[in-house]
Structure 1
Amino acid sequence: MSDQAPPLAAAPVPALAARAARTGSSPVRDILALTARPEVISFAGGLPAPELFDAEGISAAFREVLAQAPQRVLQYSTSEGDPALRAAVAARTTARGLVTDADDLLITTGSQQGLTLLATALLEPGDVVLVEDPCYLAALQIFSLAGARVVAVPTDNEGLDPAALDEIAARENPKLLYVIPTFQNPTGRTLSAERRAAVAEVAARRGLWIAEDDPYGELRFEGEPQRWVASFPGAEDRTVLLGSFSKVMAPGLRLGTLRAPAGLRRACVIAKQAADLHTSTVDQAAAARYLTACDLDAHLARVRGAYRERRDALLAGLSAALPEGSRWNRPAGGMFVWATLPAGYDATALLPEVVRHDVAYVPGAPFFAGRPDPAAIRLSFVTHGPAEIGEGLQRLRAGIAAARRAG
C-alpha cells in the first residue's frame, strides 16, 4: 500500500478581467512586429526619423546632469514632475499662445500615459466618450480598458463635424470628447479655427470635458499655426491638453505633459502615484537641461524641413503606386497621409501580399470606432528618406497588383 497522497485536483485560476478580455492588441504594434526585418520599407509606424534625433545634444544633457547632480537625478522624485522641466514647458506653451504656469502641468511617462491617467481619474464604467471617426488607436484601447462606451463622431475632409458633435452630445450625454485637432492621427487632418470655436461652444453648452491631444502641433510645414481648442471661449475650464516630447525630441525618453484645471489635475496626480509614482527623474532632468542649453526651435526647423521633403516624395509617387481611382489628402504637417483605395478593395486583405514585397502600411479599418472603411490606409512618411520612399512605393504597387491577381 502506497504512503503517497493522491494528486491534488487543482481548480482553474480565475478569468481575466472583462476589460482585458475585450481589449485587443494594437494592430499597428502587431504590424510593426511583422515588418521588423531591416529590408522592409515601412509606411506603417509613426516612427520619427532616427537619423534626425539630436543625439549629441541629448547625450550632452545626460552627461551634464549626471556629473553635476547625480544624487538628485538618480533619486526618487515628486509625482508632479521636475520643476525645471515644468517651467520650461510652461514657457513654451505660453509662447505658443496659451498662458500656462509650471503648476498647471503634470509630467507623464509619454502623453499616452496622460490619457490613461485622465481616463482613470474621470471615467466610470459605462460613461460615454466621444471620439473622432477614425480615431487614434491607443485612445480606443485606453477607453476600452476604462470600461467606457465609445461613440464615434463623423468627420469629413476638414476633420470633426461640429454639428454632428452637437447632435450626438445631446443624445448620448457624454462625459468626455477626445480630439487630435492638429495633424490628426490617422488622417493628418487639421480643424479650422471656426470648427475649434464650435467644438468649444458645444462642450460648454452640453457640459463635457475635452481631451485635446497635441503630439504633432510643432511639425507644421506650411500655413499658419492654429490656436489650441483650450484657448477658445467655453473650453478654458474644461480642457485637458496633452503634450509629448516624442515627436520633437525623442520617443525613447517617454516624456509627456498634461495641462488641466486644478481639481482634475490633482486627481491625475493621485492616479499617477498609483501607476508609477513618478516619471524617470534622470530623463526629466536631461530634458530640462536640453531645453536650457540647446535650441529646440532650430532642431525642429531641421526636422520640419526633412519631413516636408518626405511628405512631398510620398505624395508625388502615390498616383503611380495606388490603383486608379484612389484618393488621398495633403496634410500641412504631422506624420501621416490618409488614402482610400477604390471601391471593392480591402486594405487588410491586401496587406499580407504587400508585406511579402518588403513594404508595409496600416489598414485604416481598425481606427474606426463606428463603421469601418475597408479601403482606407494610413501611410507614414517620416521614417524613410525620399529615395527609400520612392522604392517603397514601387514595391507597394507591385504588392497590390500581386494581391489582386491572387485574389
Structure 2
Amino acid sequence: MQFAQRLDNVETSAIRELFKLLGKPGIISFAGGFPDSAMFDVAGIQDASQKALAQDAGLALQYGATEGFMPLREQLAAFTAAKGAKDVYADNLVVTTGSQQALDLLGKCMISPGDKVIVEGPTFLATIQCFRLYGAEVISAPIDSQGVIVDELEKLIAEHQPKLVYLIPTFGNPSGATLSLERRQRVLELAVKYQTLVVEDDPYGDLYFDAPPPASLLALSSEVPGSRDWLAHCGSLSKVLSPGLRIGWLIAPPELLAKAVMCKQFSDAHTSTFAQATAAHYLLAGHMPATLAKVRKVYAQRAQTMIAALRSELGDAVAFTEPQGGLFLWVRLTGAHGALADANVLAKQAIAQGVAFVPGAPFFSQHPDLSTFRLSFATADEDKIREGVARLAKALRA
C-alpha cells in the first residue's frame, strides 16, 4: 500500500513496544506511565455514573456539543480556577478525549510541514511523535533539576522562530523536574516578547507530595500582561481520577480554540457524553479532594521507597533529582567504577532479571542521552519496589 508520507517521520512508541516483552511471569514493571488502578475511587465513580443516568440520561446517552458537556465544562473551570487561574470560564474551555487529543488538535491547528517546534529534552514521547506526524522539526531545549533552562530556550526561540514551545512545567514526564517560579515568569515573558505560543501540559500538577508546586503558567499569566494571548493550557483527569474516562481539556486564546473545535468535529464529533456526565457528577459531589489526598500520600511514600532503594542498592552508579510530585524518577547511569553506562543495554539485562523500565533515548527529540532511563513508582507497592530495585542492581552487575 502507498501510505501517507507523514508516516515516514514517526515510528511506534518504544514504550508500547516494551510492553510486548512484559509477559514473563513475575516481572516487576517500572515502565508504565499509569496511575495505580487500586487508587481509583470506584465507589465514587459508580455513584457519579448512576447519577448521570438517573438525572441526565437524555443528555449523557445522546450526541453532544463538540465543545463538551456544559456541566462538566463548568466544573473543570471551577477546578482550574481554584488553583489560582483567573478568568477561566466554561466558554473558554473545550473538553477533549484525554489531554493527548488536546495536543493532537494543537498540532493540527498550528503545524505545517517544515515548521519548527521546541520541546524539552527529554519530554513526553507521544508529543514528539504527534508533532512529527504533522511535519514539524522538533528541537530540543536543555533542562536541569528546575526544568527548562530559560536562557537556552530564549536562544533557541530567537534562532528558530518556532510555531510553538511545548513544556511540562510541573513534575515533568519523564524528567520529574519542576520549573521554578522565576523561570515560569520568564517563559511567559518570552512568549510575549517573541509572540510565540507556549503550550503548558499539566497532567501531574495535582500529584504533589508535600508542598504544592509553583502556580501554573495559566495562573501566572494574569501577572504577565499579554501572555494569555500566547498560552495554551492542557489539563487531564487521567492521572488523578481515571484514564479510562478519557477526560482532558484545552484552554487557549479564542481564535485558536475555535480552530481546535473545528478540527475536533472532524476527529470524533465530541468526547463521550456519558464519560463527561460521570466526571461532572463526580466533581460536583466534591469527591476529588479526598481522592487527591489519598493518592498523594501513597505516591509520595512509594517515591521515597524507590529513592532509598536506589541509593542503597545502586549507590553512586546512578544519579537523579528527587521529584516533588508526579509519577516518575529520571535516572542517569554514571558509569562509576567502570559500571555499565548504557541504559539500552541495561534494559535488556533487567528484563532477564525480571524487572522492566523505559530507556531514556526515545524521550529526546535530538541528541539522546543513552545513559538515562525512566522509572515509574506509581503502580508497584513498596515491597515490589524494593525487590524490583534489587533486581535492577543485579542487572547492572550482570
Which protein has the larger Cα radius of gyration, Structure 1 or Structure 2? 1
Match of 1:287 in 2: 279
Q: Secondary structure at the match of 2:317?
A: coil
**Structure 1 residue 365 and structure 2 residue 346: aligned?**
no
Matches within 5 A, 1:7-406: 13=1, 15-37=2-24, 39-99=26-86, 100-230=88-218, 231-232=220-221, 233=224, 234-322=226-314, 324-343=316-335, 345-402=341-398
Q: Unpaired segments of 5 or more residues in structure 2?
A: none
Cα deviation 1:28-66 (Å, max 9, x = unaligned): 111123214562211111111111100111012112212
Q: Secondary structure at the match of 2:227?
A: coil
User: Counterparts of 2:95 and 2:278 in 1: how far apart (Å)?
Assistant: 14
User: Counterparts of 1:349 and 1:18 in 2: how far apart (Å)?
Assistant: 32
Cα deviation 1:285-320 (Å, max 9, x = unaligned): 000011112420111001100001000100000023
Q: Secondary structure at the match of 1:299?
A: helix
Cα deviation 1:265-298 (Å, max 9, x = unaligned): 0000001001111000100000001111242011
- Alpha-carbon distance change, 78 to 38 in structure 1, aligned in 2, over 3 angstroms: farther
Range with bigger deviation, 57-66 or 168-177 = 57-66
C-alpha contact (below 8 Å) 1:323/1:342 kept by paired residues: no
User: Counterparts of 1:350 and 1:310 in 2: how far apart (Å)?
Assistant: 23
Q: Secondary structure at the match of 2:393?
A: helix
User: Counterparts of 2:195 and 2:391 in 1: how far apart (Å)?
Assistant: 49
User: Counterparts of 2:360 and 2:343 in 1: how far apart (Å)?
Assistant: 7
- Alpha-carbon distance change, 160 to 141 in structure 1, aligned in 2, over 3 angstroms: same
Q: Secondary structure at the match of 2:154?
A: helix
Equivalent pairs: percent with the same residue? 43
Match of 1:3 in 2: none
Instruction: Give the C-alpha shift of residue 323 in structure 1.
Output: 6.0
User: Counterparts of 2:70 and 2:23 in 1: how far apart (Å)?
Assistant: 38
User: Counterparts of 1:38 and 1:62 in 2: how far apart (Å)?
Assistant: 35
Task: Give the count of matched residue pairs.
Answer: 389
TM-score, normalization: structure 2? 0.95
TM-score, normalization: structure 1? 0.93
User: Counterparts of 1:158 and 1:325 in 2: how far apart (Å)?
Assistant: 23
Q: Unpaired segments of 5 or more residues in structure 1?
A: 1-12, 403-407
One-letter code of the match for 2:176? G
